[in-house]
Amino acid sequence: MNLPPPTRSGSERRPLRSRRFAGVTLALALSLVAALLGAVPAAAEVEHPRQQWMRESTAGLFLHWGMFTAPAHTDCAAWERDVTEGGWSAGYWVDEAKKLRASYIVLATFHSRLGYARPWPSEIPGSCATKRDLLGELVEAGKAKGVRVLLYMTDDPQWHNEAGIQTLDSAAYSAHKGKQVDLTTREGFGEYSYDLFHEVMDKYPDLSGFWIDNDNAYWERNKLYEQIREKRPAWLLSNNNEDTPIMDTVSNEQKTGITPAYDYPAATYTPMPRLTEADYKLPTSGAWWYDGKDNAVDLPLSIGRYVANAGSSIKSLMAETPMVNGKFPPSQENFNTFMDTWLPPIWSAITGTKGGGYMYGGMQPGFWNDGAHGVITVADEARTQYVHVLTKPKSQDMVRLRDNGYRVTQVTDVRTGAPFRFTQSGGYLSILGVTTWDTYDTVFKVRTAGQQHFLKPGTVKATASAAKEGFPAANLVDGDYTTYWDSNGNQPVSVSLDLGKRRKVAYLAVNQTEWSPTHARESFGRPEDSARIMNYKVYTSKDGRNWGEPVRSSAMRSARGTQFIDLGAQDTRYLKLEVLDTWSGAQAKPFFKQLKIDEIRVASDYPARDTDGMPLEAEAGQNDRDGKARVTGCDACSGGEQITRLGGGARNAVTYRGVQVAAAGTYRLELDYTAPKAGSLSVSVNGAAPIKKAVAATGVEVPMDASIAVPLAAGDNTVKVFSDDQQGPGLDRIVVGPLPSASATPKTTMTVRPSGVVWVGPGQQSVTISAKLRLDEDTVDNVRLAPVVPAGWTLEGAPVTASGLRLGQSIEGTWTVTGPAAGGAAQVPVKADFQTVGLPHSVSKVVPIQVRPADRVFMREAESSLNDIGSAGVTNCGRCSGSQKVRNIGGSADAFVRFDDVTVDQAGEYQLFIDFTVNGNRSYFVTVNGGTPIEVPTSGMGNDTVYTKAVTVSLKAGANTITFGNDTDSAPDLDRISLGS
């Protein structure tokens, strides 16, 4: 078998979330040899035969069910009695899992928020244990019907008295052990749960593994995972939210805030071939467990997640909420029954397939034409591919997506077998004449004859201007998606490709390592962002030394899957891809300026199939061509042709007749064009006055799009396109669609500094504000960026403007706002205004300015952008100042909060007031100006209660630095600090 190299180690991929220890080095080849010889592997495997059953799975059922399931029980025996008398049946859970085509169940009963209940008779006292062997019954029922069972285990004792009773019995466990053990501490709980792991392994050989929520230092110190590998080598180990090398599975918990909402993989961070899960709540509101309510299930969201995850080889671990008697609330049971009938007609497009557009081949997933969105699944080495349209196009009866070089031979409807017309050109497959769309997933079966026109591995040699040791540029062209090139944090950075001899080059296919989300987000308080290419340039050279001007300058969308750089028709031996920057911002340190690419493939041409052609092609025979307008070849254009010589005014034009819409109104007209330099196109509809649209330079014969709003009559319309430029752009095609809704604001990223509450002293104060607006999708016009000051305040600095922005482009500015002489608080929004197809939009971020109390000489929020928070993270906190705080402080030297420029007028001793939240007993270590750390112990209950503690610190006059951390253990969450004299 092909063994992936050590580069897929979890320790290489992602920082740890809740524990800080040296990661286990992944030595896959050695561990597989050891496994084959019957020895205990010294480290984990990215791929191992024991994982095969889960790799063949599509879904699992996650069941949070325990003593505190509503109505909560405070007595273990009473809970067990009500479970039994209520008619609990293991077979019911197995049958419901089968409806979902789930291959496994994860039982989360020994859960910190559910009373630490153990659904099995236990010889080890310490928490609730049933006399009835519920776990054993579930394992046996699952085994009878091919559904495996994994047991959830936690290391978290902090919720031991959440319900007002003590759910952990330290005295009983201490008597059992013959020594004093406090189960409410992580160390004591680690010892207790360590014993439970072994008890379960001894009692239930037919269990399939453990699903582990975080790690415990006691487990690690006592080699628990290695013992599991030795005692139960066929069992899986799954870990929540961390890519831990010794674990088989990485589980990504409850990802939301994604567009589309079902595109769960866009928020995950672990690349294939790592075995990954998406674990999420099936009811779209409420707790992970039954809270007494029949919470609704959002069908489009839930089905979309199910299919989208399959399109990325991610397993859907769906959390349903059984009641005390084990039955699911009606909404969830109804969803299961619906899926049991909805899945079979398309099951062939899901089961036995792999995610398409990644290392297993396949066309490009993601956003397609006219607002369509979907995923690809592949089989038969991608000779059979399934196009899953989860969001249908807004108005068109077609789907158009990048073909990734596959020559398509047949397209049929998976449900009916009916054939569809299709065409291929310019790198796109267009499936035509789609008049019926499934509510949730329209699936096309696409047969291919394989990929065409890519240079074979070994033909191309790669070098780079920088590389991390062990991750050379040669990995880019070795044909192995499990190796990658790492730029070692350098930007800009370039990769040069030697094609061996002069060749025709049409495009590059770039597979970036899927180790980051595709957009800025927070995960458990830690900022994440996309470590993918943004702005780039491509150069050609005949000798590898003289590069000249770039043949292509553009931005690459931040998206998963293969991305393409079209180059027109280039004749060259050498190519250079210069990456100017990536999408990640500085707030997400693990991803900032990081770039990892698995493969870059070079294609000499596009697959082509001319049938009836695409609608509204400029070169279509039914169009009128006036004056000098003529058809010319254009490899990257739809249909392989375009209309050129449209310059010089309306006498040189292409005129479409019979452009149809069902109802009169204003529509979005997209112009796909090529232009060697910036210019304009003019459009006259039904003989009306022309509408002029400025267009950017494409540089090469690679179409770009520009859109305008046009009035169209019901039925047939005439659309005339020309240019007033002396040498006008070429026209590839036009597309007619609905205007975006007024609420559909293009995605932007606005960063404002300082962020959060700004605390100032009494009297007149000035605050310097900087802001940057970046466009993350689409095109916008007439951009304006500036603060909006309230009455009585003044603004120094002019607004920043731009005639337009395209993908990846940005504008930024700096201003000074000054308050009135009497001082006072204010809300200062930084506002960006722009237009899309003539529709106005705006986005803004507010800088709250507050006056600090009279007894404070300094005050700053922990989450302020003026601070460095290392690998800690910001999270919401309703009772905190500014409604945010910094969490995940401590456990390692890099998880800290450093306050720079803590300024005082004179040297001396000051009272440092620390506002924090904490659950239990934890300590900060506070360092002032690099001095000896001062331990500040804290104690409290609940992470929503803000406490204050004061310590005395010695400061120098002027700027000081104060750092909060804890190298060895978790510290409290930090709200803000202030100084009193």
For the stretch 385-432, pLDDT in tens is 999 999 999 999 999 999 999 999 999 999 999 999 999 999 999 999
Q: What confidence tier does 24 reach under pLDDT thresholds 50, 70, 90?
A: very low
When divided into structural domains, the chain yields a total of 6
Average pLDDT over residues 344-371: 97
Separation of alpha carbons 361 and 598, rounded Å = 13
Provide the residue type at 544 as one letter: G
Where b means 16+ CB within 10 Å and e means fewer, 230-260 reads eebeebbbbbbbbbbbbbbbbbbbebeebeb
| 769 shares a domain with 664 | no
DSSP 3-state assignment of 100?
coil
- Which residues are bridge partners to 133 per DSSP? none
Contacts of 85 (CB under 8 A, 6+ apart): none
Report which DSSP code applies to 651.
Answer: T
Of 276, 325, 303, the closest CA to residue 92 belongs to: 325
Provide the residue type at 399 as one letter: V
Q: What is the 3-state secondary structure (H, E, C) of 900-967?
A: EEEEECCCEEEEEEEEEECCEEEEEEEEECCCCCEEEEEEECCCCCCEEEEEEEEECCEEEEEEEECC
For residue 437, give both structure tokens.
Answer: 């769309």
Pairing relationship of beta strands 275-281 and 249-253 according to DSSP bridges? parallel
pLDDT of residue 122: 98
pLDDT of residue 391: 98
Contacts of 592 (CB under 8 A, 6+ apart): 529, 584, 585, 586
Q: What confidence tier does 44 reach under pLDDT thresholds 50, 70, 90?
A: low
pLDDT of residue 612: 65
DSSP 3-state assignment of 84?
helix
pLDDT of residue 161: 86
Virtual CA dihedral for 681, 687, 688, 693, nearest 10 degrees?
Answer: -10
| 786 shares a domain with 693 | no
276 located within any domain:
yes
pLDDT of residue 102: 98
Average pLDDT over residues 238-245: 84
pLDDT of residue 548: 95
| 756 shares a domain with 890 | no
In the predicted structure, residue 28 carries a pLDDT above the cut 80: no
| 500 shares a domain with 375 | no
- Which residues are bridge partners to 898 per DSSP? 868, 963
Percent of the chain with pLDDT over 70: 95
Contact assessment for residue 580 and residue 831, using Cβ atoms and an 8 Å cutoff: no
- Which residues are bridge partners to 928 per DSSP? 962
| 403 shares a domain with 522 | no
Contact assessment for residue 390 and residue 304, using Cβ atoms and an 8 Å cutoff: yes
| 760 shares a domain with 779 | yes
Distances from the Cα of 954 to the Cα of 53, 359, 929, 949, angstroms: 61, 57, 9, 17
616 located within any domain:
no
Contact assessment for residue 629 and residue 623, using Cβ atoms and an 8 Å cutoff: no
DSSP 3-state assignment of 811?
strand
Report pLDDT digits (tens) over 462-506: 999 999 999 999 999 999 999 999 999 999 999 999 999 999 999
Q: Which helix (H) or strand (E) holds 53?
A: helix 52-55
pLDDT of residue 439: 97
Beta strands, E only, 637-729: 641-644, 654-657, 665-674, 679-685, 691-695, 704-712, 718-722
Residue with tokens 């009835």: 132
Please indicate, yes or no, whether the overall pTM of this predicted structure exceeds 0.85: yes
| 77 shares a domain with 225 | yes
In the predicted structure, residue 164 carries a pLDDT above the cut 90: no
| 291 shares a domain with 170 | yes
Distances from the Cα of 629 to the Cα of 81, 613, 669, 685, angstroms: 85, 20, 21, 18
61 or 2: whose pLDDT is higher? 61
Concatenate the DSSP letters of all residues of 116-182 into one string.
--BSS--SS-SS-B-SS-HHHHHHHHHHHTT-EEEEEEE---TTTTTTSS----HHHHHHHHTS---
pLDDT of residue 611: 66
Distances from the Cα of 243 to the Cα of 24, 26, 218, 232, 921, angstroms: 11, 12, 20, 21, 28
In the predicted structure, residue 152 carries a pLDDT above the cut 50: yes
**Residue 832: which CATH number?**
2.60.40.10
Percent of the chain with pLDDT over 90: 86
Average pLDDT over residues 759-779: 95
Report pLDDT digits (tens) over 170-227: 999 999 999 999 999 889 999 999 999 999 999 999 999 999 998 888 999 999 999 9
| 144 shares a domain with 241 | yes
Which of 394, 417, 451 terminates a domain? The answer is 451
Average pLDDT over residues 597-614: 90
Distances from the Cα of 538 to the Cα of 495, 554, 671, angstroms: 10, 9, 24
Of 131, 439, 413, 500, the closest CA to residue 307 belongs to: 439
In the predicted structure, residue 587 carries a pLDDT above the cut 90: no
Of 534, 509, 511, the closest CA to residue 594 belongs to: 534
**Residue 405: which CATH number?**
2.60.40.1180
pLDDT of residue 1: 29
Report which DSSP code applies to 653.
Answer: -
Q: What is the residue-averaged pLDDT of the chain?
A: 92
Q: Which of 44-53, 100-109, 263-272 has the highest mean pLDDT?
A: 100-109
Of 313, 267, 278, the closest CA to residue 516 belongs to: 267
For residue 889, give both structure tokens.
Answer: 């402080």
**Residue 928: which CATH number?**
2.60.120.260
528 located within any domain:
yes
For residue 781, give both structure tokens.
Answer: 């016009």
11 located within any domain:
no
pLDDT of residue 185: 87
743 located within any domain:
no
| 235 shares a domain with 332 | yes
Q: What confidence tier does 873 reach under pLDDT thresholds 50, 70, 90?
A: confident
Separation of alpha carbons 377 and 535, rounded Å = 29
Q: What confidence tier does 921 reach under pLDDT thresholds 50, 70, 90?
A: confident
In the predicted structure, residue 2 carries a pLDDT above the cut 70: no
Q: What confidence tier does 440 reach under pLDDT thresholds 50, 70, 90?
A: very high
Separation of alpha carbons 59 and 96, rounded Å = 12
pLDDT of residue 34: 34
Report pLDDT digits (tens) over 660-708: 999 999 999 999 999 999 999 999 999 999 999 999 999 889 999 999 9
Separation of alpha carbons 755 and 862, rounded Å = 11
pLDDT of residue 130: 98
Q: What confidence tier does 969 reach under pLDDT thresholds 50, 70, 90?
A: confident
612 located within any domain:
no
Average pLDDT over residues 836-863: 95
DSSP 3-state assignment of 663?
coil
Where b means 16+ CB within 10 Å and e means fewer, 927-952 reads bbeeeeeeebebebeebeebbebeee
In the predicted structure, residue 141 carries a pLDDT above the cut 90: yes
pLDDT of residue 607: 96
Contact assessment for residue 63 and residue 40, using Cβ atoms and an 8 Å cutoff: no
Which of 716, 738, 760 terminates a domain? The answer is 738
Average pLDDT over residues 367-387: 97
Average pLDDT over residues 447-461: 96
23 located within any domain:
no
For residue 213, give both structure tokens.
Answer: 């929520």
| 515 shares a domain with 481 | yes
pLDDT of residue 29: 34
Of 778, 841, 742, the closest CA to residue 367 belongs to: 778
- Which residues are bridge partners to 932 per DSSP? none
**Structural domain boundaries, residue 664:** 624-738
In the predicted structure, residue 276 carries a pLDDT above the cut 90: yes
Whether cis (ω within 30° of 0) applies to the bond prior to 848 is no
Which of 851, 879, 901 terminates a domain? The answer is 851
968 or 123: whose pLDDT is higher? 123
| 679 shares a domain with 795 | no
